[in-house]
Amino acid sequence: MDDAPGYGNTGGTIGHELTHAFDDEGRQFDAKGNLKDWWTKKDGKEFTERAACIVDQYAKYTVVDDVKINSKLTLGEDVADLGGLILGWMAWKTQMASMPQQAQQLRDGLTPEQRFFVGYAQWACENDRPENLRVTAVTDPHSPGKYRVNGVVINMPEFEKAFACKPGQPMAAVKRCRVW
């Protein structure tokens, strides 16, 4: 594969792990790994407000039947997913600046920007039994794969542009969240 799906997939994962240092849990530890509040009051307040946008967004997603995502449980992972894919995008765009030919190439009928997002989505291919979804809804700090993709990309204007989403369509955001 070319760079686009690689940066969307593995780049997004590397970005995800880095962002954990600055999610709702990681941010409570200092550079030496000690539990210590080292943030300014202003930054802490801003973080909490931005994170609340993610909590509200994911709380609306249905896992199975009448079970919704416990978005306070999944917050750290959801913040890491969004921050991670933004980092993957930035790294990819930086790399593409020195590869102008690949940066414009269509493959399989997809633009590089579309391939970036398709590559990201492919790690989350899964098919869970409803019983398992019920268990993971209360025990797993990760949101179901579907929302770890759709919930992330709907917050990125880059996605809306890549797939020419029109206002009113399901993947066109009404309100976007951004933490990092």
Question: Where in the sequence numbering do the catalytic residues fall?
Answer: 17, 81
**Which residues touch 90 (CB under 8 Å, ≥6 apart)?**
none
- Of the CA atoms within 13 Å of residue 103, those in its CB half-sphere come to 10
Nearer to Zn ion (CB atom), residue 77 or residue 160: 77
Nearer to Zn ion (CB atom), residue 14 or residue 173: 14
Q: Find the shortest distance in angstroms from Cβ 86 to Zn ion.
A: 15
Nearer to Zn ion (CB atom), residue 103 or residue 145: 145
Q: Find the shortest distance in angstroms from Cβ 103 to Zn ion.
A: 29
Within 63-82, which residues bind Zn ion (CB under 5 A)? 77, 80
Nearer to Zn ion (CB atom), residue 140 or residue 158: 140
**Which residues touch 17 (CB under 8 Å, ≥6 apart)?**
80, 84
**Which residues touch 42 (CB under 8 Å, ≥6 apart)?**
none
Q: Find the shortest distance in angstroms from Cβ 55 to Zn ion.
A: 16
Q: Find the shortest distance in angstroms from Cβ 16 to Zn ion.
A: 6
**# of chain residues touching Zn ion (CB under 5 A):** 2
Return the number of other C-beta atoms located less than 10 Å from residue 114's C-beta: 20
CA 149 to chain centre: 7
Within 135-174, which residues bind Zn ion (CB under 5 A)? none
Q: Residue 61 has which token pair?
A: 């997603």
Which residues in this chain contact Zn ion in the complex, by CB under 5 A?
Answer: 77, 80
